[in-house]
Chains A and B, each alone.
Chain A
Amino acid sequence: MDIYLPIAEVSVNWPLLVLLGATVGFISGLFGIGGGFLMAPVLVFLGIPPTVAVASQASHVVASSTSGVISYSGKGAVDYRMGGIMAVGGAVGALLGVELFRYLRLLGQADLVVALSYLVFLGSIGLLMLKESLTAIIQRYRGDAPPRRDRRRPLWLYGLPFRMRFPRSGLYISAIPPLALGVFAGVLSAIMGVGGGFILVPAMLYVLRMKAGVVVGTSLFQIIITTAITTVLQAGRNQTVDIVLSMLLLVGGVVGAQYGARLSGKFRAEELRAALGLIVLLVGIQMGLELFVRPSDLFQLAPGIAD
């Protein structure tokens, strides 16, 4: 049941990869995230070189997000205008990120920056989501009246130039914040091998204050574009995309994503957010631990020689 991967140059158990793809695809469909932050650590654990893992799973993110966007799009829950602007930012960010990643690899600090990014971003986002959603759940059980949502948006969102109308999101704001958000997600996409959904979704909800219904679909739409660009760049610049690995992950991923998306309607939004927050937090802590635990060997091979 083992298969030799031509680019990763390792032999792995393929049913395991399909299963992994399906699981991550399911989570991705359920929560409306790319799921990259879950996939990359597991692939590395299975013995696939980190650079290949990060680059190859990006196309898995493309597939599961495409399948997600199509089902959200049918419900009119994708703001293509907002997503498009964020995707432009994402493309710029991906270009920057791939170059930054090459430079970090050269310095031998790539794994350190990846671990640190996971710890800081996943840890803080996970905590925030968990706190917010648990508060909402507790209030609902107690039967308290839900607190009036603060509909005021930060003033700076209105002070900036290039204001645009986003009818689907119910917004009339400057194009700069979504663009900046896109750039940020693009850089993360290249460095951490993630779509950036876990950053985008909360930022769109709590900073931009978009209509909750369109947030997930729009973030998936922008993720498709950003990760597609990242994949092409990784293949073109670093030759680290393993098509066999991607395909195995995809096969499970697209099916899993469908079931996930179907199931997501059955849960309350805050319950989903609480579960996602917990997963995000745990992965962040797990990845960050390597910064504090004494390594089994003080010496380690640093990837990246040829460039």
Chain B
Amino acid sequence: MFQALPPPPPAIEAPPPERSIATETEARVAAALTEARVKVDSSFRGAAIVLYGAVFNPDDAPTDVVVVVRGPDEPLRLVRKSRNMGVWLNSRPVLFEGAPGFYMTASTRPLGDIADFGQLRRLGVGVDHLRIDAPEESRSVTRYGVRDVVVSRLGEDYLDWRRAVIRLKEAAALYDTDPDGVEFVDRGLFRAEIKLPAVAPTGRYYAEVWLFQEGAPVSVSNLTLTVEKVGFERDVYEFAHRRPWTYGVLCVLIAALMGYGASKVFRRP
């Protein structure tokens, strides 16, 4: 996990924000973060970053703002417990890919009211539309004469598994859906808060700020956020991963020396 792969691109490539005179006739959103780098040091207990932005809306039609933040992808393995002869046993682990290590949405209204299912699915907005998937479980079969139909070995339980991924991440405060997390502080001026728990993965985060009008996205602003270990925390982490054997020997030596030292200090005269 040390040399992390380059982070995946956001779910959809958004056009660069318009900075032309078109602004005067088209609705547009612009946003910024109070902090673009989150430093993880020994006092890190999570962080709250404020995202603020402005909506330029020349024709006064009602607009909705949706903020989506996704962290680096983290494949994860899930087991299901089942009872066999009175004992709870684990199933074979299932590998899920495409699940970001952190994901949150904040919006002015519940996502379902802002845009329809297809639109959200296409943009990959909302936990239900994340492309979480168990590729090792799927295979192509021919069904009803149709070739290359992808089915999952998990069968009908597939949705249960996928929902469990989201539920477990939500329980760890890594996934969050806040239907009124975007708050308008003034006409055209909004803010939203990104709450990173202490267990949030390090790496590059992508924030997308979507502007919806009548159920369709009209503008997007893309931001990035970096969460990284700094100072002592980073040094220890890098040492442990670059020279793992030296690190291990050092740990043991320190432990033995401390034990030795204590017995000398406490020796009765």
B117 CB within 8 Å of chain A: no
Q: A7-B237, A258-B262 are in contact. Are A112 and B248 (CB under 8 A)?
A: no
> Which residues of chain A are within 8 angstroms of B252 by Cβ–Cβ distance?
59, 62, 228, 231-232
Q: Is the CB of A234 within 8 A of B248?
A: yes
Q: A60-B255, A62-B256, A239-B240 are in contact. Are A302 and B245 (CB under 8 A)?
A: no
Complex Cα distance A292/B40, Å? Answer: 39
Interface residues of A (CB under 8 A from B): 2-4, 6-7, 9-11, 59-60, 62-68, 70-71, 107-109, 111-112, 224, 228, 231-237, 239, 241, 243-244, 246-247, 250-251, 254-255, 257-258, 262, 290-295, 297-306
| 29 CB-based A-B contacts, threshold 8 Å | A3-B42, A4-B40, A4-B43, A6-B232, A7-B236, A7-B240, A9-B201, A10-B198, A59-B255, A62-B259, A63-B255, A66-B263, A68-B259, A70-B259, A108-B77, A109-B90, A231-B251, A236-B245, A237-B244, A239-B240, A241-B247, A243-B250, A244-B42, A250-B258, A291-B88, A297-B167, A300-B78, A300-B80, A300-B168
Complex Cα distance A291/B85, Å? Answer: 11
B187 CB within 8 Å of chain A: no
B15 CB within 8 Å of chain A: no
Distance in angstroms from B141 CB to nearest chain A CB is 26
Size range of the chain B interface in the assembly: 35 or more
Complex Cα distance A233/B258, Å? Answer: 21
Q: Is the CB of A107 within 8 A of B93?
A: yes
Q: A6-B229, A235-B244, A299-B168 are in contact. Are A11 and B255 (CB under 8 A)?
A: no
Closest 7 A-B residue pairs measured CB to CB? A235-B248, A66-B259, A108-B93, A299-B164, A254-B262, A232-B248, A67-B259
Q: Is the CB of B255 within 8 A of A246?
A: yes
> Which residues of chain B are within 8 angstroms of A257 by Cβ–Cβ distance?
259, 262
Q: Is the CB of B199 within 8 A of A9?
A: yes
Q: Is the CB of A66 within 8 A of B247?
A: no
For B202, the closest partner residue in chain A by CB is: A9
Complex Cα distance A107/B88, Å? Answer: 16
Complex Cα distance A70/B262, Å? Answer: 10
Q: Is the CB of A254 within 8 A of B261?
A: yes
For A12, the closest partner residue in chain B by CB is: B198
Distance in angstroms from A99 CB to nearest chain B CB is 16
Q: Is the CB of B248 within 8 A of A292?
A: no
User: Which residues of B from 251 to 269 have beta carbons under 8 Å from A?
Assistant: 251-252, 254-256, 258-263, 266
Q: Is the CB of A290 within 8 A of B88?
A: yes
18 additional A-B residue pairs with CB within 8 Å, beyond A109-B90, A254-B261, A292-B88: A4-B45, A4-B198, A7-B236, A66-B258, A108-B93, A235-B248, A246-B254, A250-B254, A250-B258, A297-B168, A298-B81, A298-B82, A299-B80, A299-B168, A301-B77, A301-B78, A301-B168, A302-B77
Q: A62-B259, A108-B90, A112-B90 are in contact. Are A235 and B78 (CB under 8 A)?
A: no
Q: Is the CB of A243 within 8 A of B240?
A: yes
B241 CB within 8 Å of chain A: yes
User: Which residues of B from 89 to 128 have beta carbons under 8 Å from A?
Assistant: 89-93, 95
Complex Cα distance A68/B244, Å? Answer: 28
User: Which residues of B from 145 to 172 have beta carbons under 8 Å from A?
Assistant: 160-161, 164-165, 167-168, 171
Complex Cα distance A255/B93, Å? Answer: 42
Distance in angstroms from B84 CB to nearest chain A CB is 10
